[in-house]
């Protein structure tokens, strides 16, 4: 069903394909804990390109490939000819003759499209300025573990955030609810929002925006945030901090969740900025479960697509 496909954005997949990824993610977790991991990548080589720094994505992707019997080939930007101006297209053509798949963490989403088009290989978005699909898969896996089913997320912070785009894409495909507390000037890109809105109309998903973070959080089961200033946004850092100063996740804000509500963050976090330290390090935090689940969703995706 998924062999040979790309995972560049969750909007590109069918509902049933996303459900299959999630099903296999839980199976992979069971396999790791029982030490019965299928070697579905044996004899295969996957190139992992990092144009941006990484901790969780780097470790989860490289470990996932190794556990499945494959060979991860890690390539930081400064290690390869990209750093000297070689076109992405040329890199992709070479990789297409030597490896079986490409994962890339990039500054510009267009780079992923070029890697796919010119390599002819299954290509995976390990983070771009547009979206972060593997993160959203791990997030919803965590929610299902905690509650037994998918529940309403309240995202508080930057409404144009790439992780939020992937969370909304997941929700739109599966008919779920997301409530976004964000300033009016920080909303998703118009073209991507149009696609999300169309999918939501088809599935019955509810995605609503609120100026007041308390209204967004009220009754939700998970409160999610991300850093206010992403890599590459340093020039507008002070402006974004000013815009988002009233959107910090605090202990007081967490009181407005449904009973048993949890806190979520994709990491890295800036304690004292987008979230209070007592929240992310407190007993409502599911952050470390999210980070662990990055491994199992990566194992699922690599095994199903390559």
Residue with token string 């593997």: 134
The angle subtended at Cα 53 by Cα 185 and Cα 31, nearest 5°, is 105
- Our answer to whether residue 135 is catalytic in this structure is yes
What residues have CB less than 8 Å from 262, skipping those under 6 apart? 143, 146, 221, 222, 223, 284, 285, 286
DSSP 295: H
- Our answer to whether residue 294 is catalytic in this structure is yes
| CA separation, residue 99 to residues 3, 111, 180 (Å) | 15, 18, 40
**Separation of alpha carbons 214 and 198, rounded Å:** 27
- Our answer to whether residue 290 is catalytic in this structure is no
- Active-site hit among 135, 139, 161, 195: 135
Q: How many CB atoms lie within 10 A of CB 27?
A: 15
- Active-site hit among 158, 195, 226, 290: 226
- Active-site hit among 56, 58, 132, 179: 132
- Active-site hit among 9, 56, 58, 105: 105
Exposure pattern of 112-125 as b/e (b: 16+ CB <10 Å)? Answer: bebbbebbebbbbb
How many whole angstroms from its chain centre is CA 158?
A: 15
Q: How many residues does the chain have?
A: 306
**Separation of alpha carbons 45 and 190, rounded Å:** 37
**Distance separating the N- and C-terminal Cα atoms of the chain:** 11
Please state at what angle helix 133-147 crosses helix 15-34, rounded to 10 degrees. 70
Burial class (CB in 10 A: 0-12, 13-18, 19+), 37: middle
- Our answer to whether residue 132 is catalytic in this structure is yes
Cross-strand pairs, 178: 153, 207
- Active-site hit among 129, 139, 179, 266: 266
Return the active site residues.
105, 132, 135, 226, 266, 294
């Amino acid at each position: 069903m998924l062999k040979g496909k790309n995972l560049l954005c969750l909007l590109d997949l069918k509902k049933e394909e996303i459900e299959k990824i999630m099903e296999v993610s839980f199976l992979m977790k069971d396999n790791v804990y029982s030490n019965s991991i299928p070697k579905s990548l044996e004899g295969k080589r996957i190139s992992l390109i990092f144009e941006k720094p990484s901790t969780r994505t780097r470790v989860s992707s490289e470990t996932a490939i190794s556990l499945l019997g494959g060979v991860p080939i890690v390539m930081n930007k400064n290690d390869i000819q990209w750093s000297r101006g070689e076109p992405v297209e040329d890199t992709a053509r070479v990789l297409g003759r030597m490896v079986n798949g490409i994962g890339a963490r990039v500054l510009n989403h267009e780079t992923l499209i070029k890697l796919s088009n010119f390599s002819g290989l299954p290509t995976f978005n390990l983070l771009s300025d547009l979206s972060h699909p593997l993160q959203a898969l791990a997030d919803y896996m965590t929610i299902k573990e905690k509650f037994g089913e998918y529940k309403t997320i309240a995202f508080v912070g930057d409404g144009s955030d790439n992780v939020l785009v992937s969370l909304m894409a997941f929700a739109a495909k599966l008919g779920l609810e997301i409530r976004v507390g964000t300033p009016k000037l920080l909303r998703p890109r118009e073209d991507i929002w149009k696609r999300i809105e169309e999918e939501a109309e088809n599935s019955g998903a509810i995605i609503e925006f609120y100026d007041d973070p308390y209204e967004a959080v009220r009754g939700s089961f998970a409160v999610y945030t991300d850093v206010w200033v992403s890599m590459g946004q340093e020039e507008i850092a002070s402006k974004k901090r000013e815009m988002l100063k009233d959107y910090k996740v605090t202990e007081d804000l967490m009181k407005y969740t449904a009973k048993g509500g949890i806190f979520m963050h994709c990491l890295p976090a800036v304690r004292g900025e987008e979230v209070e330290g007592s929240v992310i390090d407190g007993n409502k935090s599911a952050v470390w479960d999210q980070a662990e689940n990055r491994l199992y969703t990566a194992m699922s995706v690599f095994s199903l697509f390559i």
